[in-house]
Structure 1
Amino acid sequence: MNDWEMTAPDGRTLETYLRDYNLMLEQIASGTPPTQEELSAAPLITHWKIEEVIYTSGERYRHIFGNFEGHPFIVEGGFGRTSPLLQLDRGMTWARCRSRVYRLQEPYPQWKAG
């Protein structure tokens, strides 16, 4: 047995992270929206837009860029991006990304107009 344990960036054990990720994929497949509890605890993104990022591996993923509030790793009000986008609510009030659920406020004005 190892004297170390693999953890996700947010401190969850790898086992817990994979369990949570599989649950999220099941929710997406079944069309189940986040619970009110999940949304209440979710970070908020303001002045956001969705952009495609091309990685050096050639893989392409869409991310949400914007100003974050309540995120564990991004300074309060700071600009950042999410992990890859997996699901966007039709009303654009929440999004599921690879690492977590986010609440969305008003998109970036130029992106909304485009």
Structure 2
Amino acid sequence: MKYISVLVVAAGISLLSGCSSIDKPVGSATYRPLNASGIKGEASYTLSIIAPLERSRREDTFKKIYDFCGGKYDILGESNDGREVHLTFLCTKNLVPSGAIYINRSNGTTW
């Protein structure tokens, strides 16, 4: 009986823990540049009826995206299929914002 109780508790914990993942990184980590700027990807996490658990999964997913990108990123889209939340992201670390003007101070030229 004690063995069954431990097994039930272990199964319950694994069910509640759920998962979050980077679903579609571009390229393997071996060949990806350290600063993955400009790379798009997709991540997801499993929904839960327990609000604190779902917040934890969302935060874990954001940490995985941050680690994947090597820093900052933008969320481009978010969808919910009733079982998982899917996020589309763009790594933005070291990207020059659209419409930005770069000034080269060495010779005064503006690009």
Q: TM-score, normalised by structure 2?
A: 0.23
Q: Which has the higher helix share?
A: 2
Determine which structure has the larger strand proportion and give its number: 1
